[in-house]
Amino acid sequence: MNLPLLAMFGLGTPEILLLVVLGILLFGRKLPDLARSMGKSMTEFKKGMNGIEDQVNEPSGPRGSIEPEPVKAPTRVTPTAKPNFDDAPAPTSTTPPKV
């Protein structure tokens, strides 16, 4: 184990032994499988981070620019027939409305 790293978190020997005992009690026979899967996960994570760093540090070559679509002028819609407005007054009744 990397003792300076564990000392950075303030863990001494008794705390580390307690964590190991708790790990054995909780995980038992599955502890090696758990450690193996965690190791694989860390390896994949590091590979992914290296891939991202390679993409960031890679000199950018000429990329094909994306041409925007040309803006079209709005088309005017003209009616084919004239609207018919009725200017006749509304019919009036001689009786008052009922309340």
Q: Which domain holds residue 40?
A: 3-56
Q: What is the DSSP string of 19-75?
A: HHHHHHHHHGGGHHHHHHHHHHHHHHHHHHHHHHHHHHHSPP---PPPPPPPPPPPP
- 8 within domain boundaries: yes
Give the per-residue pLDDT at 5.
Answer: 57
- 37 within domain boundaries: yes
- 33 within domain boundaries: yes
- 38 within domain boundaries: yes
pLDDT tens per residue, range 24-52: 888 888 888 888 999 999 999 999 998 88
Q: Check pLDDT > 60 for residue 13.
A: yes
Give the per-residue pLDDT at 47.
Answer: 92
- 30 within domain boundaries: yes
- 26 within domain boundaries: yes
Residue partners of 40: CB distance under 8 A and separation at least 6: none
- State mean pLDDT over 1-27: 77
Q: Check pLDDT > 70 for residue 77.
A: yes
Count structural domains, the chain.
Answer: 1
